[in-house]
A and B are shown apart, each in its own frame.
Chain A
Amino acid sequence: MAESVRADEVSAWYGKKLAIRDISVTMEPNKVTALIGPSGCGKSTFLRSINRLHEVVPGAKVAGDIWVGDRNVYGKDMDAVKVRANIGMVFQRPNPFPTMSIYDNIAAGPRLSGRAGKRKQMDELVEHSLRQAALWDEVKDRLKEPATGLSGGQQQRVCIARALAMKPGVLLLDEPSSALDPIASFKIEELLLQLKNDYTMVIVTHNMQQAARIADFTGFMLAGTDYVGELVEYGETTKMFSNPSDSRTEAYITGRFG
C-alpha cells in the first residue's frame, strides 16, 4: 500500500561536512514527486536519507525525522534493515546482481531479508514483479540466464522488478534513466507512469523535461555559496514549471544555470 513520506527538518552530513540542511516536505501517496536541481545540491543525499541508505557511507549521519506512513524512519526503536525492506530503491546505473539469474535477482529481496516463501509462491511473485516492470514477455523464456546478459534498459527494469518484489509502499529512484539511451529511458518513464497508481514514488532527475513529463509534484533543490543543499521550492509540477514562485527556480528551469 502506498504511503506518504514526510520529512521534518532533515539534515545530513558526510563526516563533518553538512550536505543538506533542514529539509521539510511532504510527498503524497500514489503520486510521483521529482527532485530536481544542479549537481551537488544534495538530491541524492536526501533520497538516500529516506531509506537510511545514507548512513552506510562511513562517517555519514542524518538529523531530523522522516515519517513513512505513520512510522518514523529515524524513530528510536526503528531498525534500518527493516526500513530498507519496506522502501524500494532503484539506482542510477542498472545494478542487477551479476552472480544471479534473472529469476534469482527478482527473488533476491525476499531471500536476503529472510521473507522467502515456498517455491510456488516465489514463482508467482517473480512473474508478478516482472509483469509490473513490463519485462515478463521479454524474459519469461530465459529466467535462468544471468541478468547481466540483458540490455541496459532491461537490466534497469530487472532492478525495478527486484524492488517491487519486496512489495514496498514507497519507491525511490535515483536518476533511473540517466545511464540509458533515449528509447530505453522512454520505456522506463512509461513504466513509472503505470506504477504510480500503486506506489509513492520519489525520483531524482537531472532531466527537467523528464520531471515535467512524469512528476505530479516537484521539489527544486539548490546548494548556496556554503555548498549546503536546501529545498528552495516545492509544489505541483505544472505550477513550478509555468509559474515558479522563487526567482532561483525560474533561473534554473529556464536554463540560466545548472
Chain B
Amino acid sequence: MISDRGMTRRILVDRMGTALAVGAVITALIPLGAMTAYVIAQGGSALSLSFFTQGPPAVEGQAIGGMFPMIVGSLILIGLTSCLGIPVGLLSGIYLWRYGAGSFGQAVRFVTDVIAGIPSILAGVIAFALVVLPTGTYSAYSAAIALALLMFPTVTRATETALGAVPTELREAALGLGATEWRVVVRVVVPTAASGIVTAVVLGIARVTGETAPLVFTANGLPVVSTNIFGPMGALPLQIWQDANTPFATDHQAAFAGALVLFGIILALNLIARILTYRLSRRTRIT
C-alpha cells in the first residue's frame, strides 16, 4: 500500500514533468511562429499576380517587380538536381541494402554520412572547382551537381532503411515464384517500401530547394528567364539573397515576398511527402 503522501508527491512530479515538456514545446514553437508571421507580414504585401509573371524592375529601387525568371530557374534547378540526385540515391540505397554488409558497404555508408554533413557552401565550392573553372562559365548544371551532392545522401540512407523494413518473407515469396533478384527488387521490394522512399525523395528535394550558398558559386544568373542549363541561371534563394543586400526598401520587400514563395514551396513539398506517405503506407500495410 502506497501512503497518501507518497502518492501526492508522485502526482506532483508527474504534473511538473508534463508542464516542463509542454513549456519546452511552446518555447520551440515561438521562434517558428514568429518567423512565419514576420515573413507573411513583410512579404505578403509585396505579393501580387505580377510578382509571379514579371521580372525585377529595370531600375533598381524603383519598384518591387516580380520573380518570374527566378521561379522558372528554381524549378529547372530542382528538376535537374532530382535527375542527378534521385537515381544515384535510390540505386546506392538499393546497393547498400542488398550488398552492403561487408567492409566496402560500411565504407560507402561512412562516406555518405560525411557528405550529408558537409556545409552546403562546400558543395558549391566543389562544383565551382570541378565544373565552373574548367568550363569557364557559371552554369545551371554545375549548380545541379552541387545540389545533388547535398540531396543524394538523404535519399540513399532513407532508401536503405525503407528497404530494410520490408519483411524477408516477401522477398522469399517472390524468389520462390521464380523471379530473378532484380525483378524481386523492382516489382516487390521497392513498391513495398515506396512510402518510405517517396518521403525520402520529397524531403531531399525540399532540403535543396532553399539552398543559397552553393548557387552563388555555380548558377549565379541574371534575373532574366534562361532555359539554357549550360549557362548561368537565376534562382529564388539567390535573388532573395541579392535583394536583401541592396539599400532599397523595395528590394527588401521583394526579398520577403520571395522568401514567402519559397516558404510556400517547401511547405507544399512537405505536405506532399506527408500525404504520399500516408496513402502509400495504407496501401502497403502488412498485417
Interface size class of B (residues with CB under 8 A): 20 to 34
Interface centre among B173, B177, B192 (most CB of A within 10 A): B177
Q: A99-B284, A148-B285, A148-B286 are in contact. Are A162 and B169 (CB under 8 A)?
A: no
- Any A CB within 8 A of the CB of B283: yes
Per the bound structure, the CA–CA distance linking A202 and B183 in Å amounts to 27
Give A57-92 as 1s and 0s: 1 = Cβ < 8 Å from B's Cβ atoms. Answer: 010000000000000000000000111111111010
Per the bound structure, the CA–CA distance linking A243 and B286 in Å amounts to 44
Q: Which residues of B contact A91 (CB under 8 A)?
A: 169, 172-173, 176
- Any A CB within 8 A of the CB of B287: yes
Q: Which residues of A contact B180 (CB under 8 A)?
A: 81
Q: Which residues of B contact A146 (CB under 8 A)?
A: 283
Q: Is there contact, CB below 8 Å, between A84 and B177?
A: yes
Per the bound structure, the CA–CA distance linking A109 and B178 in Å amounts to 7
Q: Which residues of A contact B284 (CB under 8 A)?
A: 98-99
Q: A85-B177, A146-B283 are in contact. Are A112 and B194 (CB under 8 A)?
A: no
Per the bound structure, the CA–CA distance linking A146 and B183 in Å amounts to 21
Q: Is there contact, CB below 8 Å, between A89 and B287?
A: no
- Any A CB within 8 A of the CB of B15: no
Q: Is there contact, CB below 8 Å, between A159 and B170?
A: no
Per the bound structure, the CA–CA distance linking A112 and B184 in Å amounts to 8
- Any A CB within 8 A of the CB of B174: yes
- Any B CB within 8 A of the CB of A240: no
Q: Which of B171, B179, B285 contacts A98 (CB 8 A)?
A: B285
Q: Is there contact, CB below 8 Å, between B177 and A113?
A: yes
Q: How many residues on A have C-beta within 8 angstroms of the other chain's C-beta atoms?
A: 31
- Any A CB within 8 A of the CB of B119: no
Per the bound structure, the CA–CA distance linking A210 and B285 in Å amounts to 31
* Minimum C-beta distance from A254 to chain B (A): 34
**A111 and chain B: residue at smallest CB distance:** B187
Q: Is there contact, CB below 8 Å, between B178 and A84?
A: yes
Per the bound structure, the CA–CA distance linking A86 and B177 in Å amounts to 8
**B177 and chain A: residue at smallest CB distance:** A109
Q: Which of A58, A89, A99 contacts B191 (CB 8 A)?
A: A99
Q: Is there contact, CB below 8 Å, between B175 and A113?
A: no
- Any B CB within 8 A of the CB of A245: no
**B102 and chain A: residue at smallest CB distance:** A58
B165-214 contacts to A (CB < 8 Å): 167, 169-180, 183-184, 187-188, 191-192, 194
* Minimum C-beta distance from B168 to chain A (A): 9
Interface on chain B toward A: helix, strand, loop, or mixed SS?
Answer: helix
* Minimum C-beta distance from B279 to chain A (A): 12
- Any B CB within 8 A of the CB of A19: no
Q: Is there contact, CB below 8 Å, between B167 and A113?
A: no
Q: Is there contact, CB below 8 Å, between A53 and B178?
A: no
Q: Is there contact, CB below 8 Å, between A85 and B192?
A: no
**A95 and chain B: residue at smallest CB distance:** B169
Q: Is there contact, CB below 8 Å, between B173 and A84?
A: no
Q: Which of A53, A81, A88, A99 contacts B283 (CB 8 A)?
A: A99
Q: Is there contact, CB below 8 Å, between B285 and A93?
A: no
Q: Which residues of B contact A163 (CB under 8 A)?
A: 176-177
**B287 and chain A: residue at smallest CB distance:** A148
Q: Which residues of B contact A99 (CB under 8 A)?
A: 188, 191-192, 194, 283-284
Q: Is there contact, CB below 8 Å, between A112 and B170?
A: no
Q: Is there contact, CB below 8 Å, between B191 and A112?
A: no
- Any A CB within 8 A of the CB of B24: no
- Any B CB within 8 A of the CB of A218: no
Q: Is there contact, CB below 8 Å, between B169 and A112?
A: no
Per the bound structure, the CA–CA distance linking A81 and B283 in Å amounts to 29
Q: Which residues of B contact A93 (CB under 8 A)?
A: 169
Give A103-119 as 1s and 0s: 1 = Cβ < 8 Å from B's Cβ atoms. Answer: 00000110111000000
- Any B CB within 8 A of the CB of A183: no
B202-243 contacts to A (CB < 8 Å): none
Q: Which residues of B contact A95 (CB under 8 A)?
A: 167, 169-170, 172-173
Q: Which of B177, B192, B194, B283 contacts A166 (CB 8 A)?
A: B177
Instruction: Give the top 9 A-B pairs by smallest Cβ distance, nearest first.
Output: A85-B178, A112-B179, A113-B178, A89-B176, A109-B177, A99-B191, A95-B169, A84-B178, A98-B284
Q: Which residues of A contact B (CB under 8 A)?
A: 51, 53, 56, 58, 81-89, 91, 93, 95, 97-99, 108-109, 111-113, 146, 148, 155, 159, 162-163, 166
Give me 16 other A-B pairs in contact (C-beta within 8 A), A95-B169, A99-B188 excluded: A81-B178, A82-B178, A85-B178, A86-B178, A87-B176, A89-B173, A91-B172, A97-B192, A98-B170, A99-B192, A108-B187, A112-B177, A112-B183, A159-B173, A162-B173, A163-B176
28 pairs, CB–CB < 8 Å, chain A vs chain B: A51-B176, A53-B176, A56-B171, A58-B101, A83-B178, A84-B176, A84-B178, A85-B178, A88-B176, A95-B167, A95-B173, A97-B173, A97-B174, A98-B192, A98-B286, A99-B188, A108-B187, A109-B178, A112-B174, A112-B178, A112-B183, A113-B178, A113-B179, A146-B283, A148-B286, A148-B287, A163-B177, A166-B177
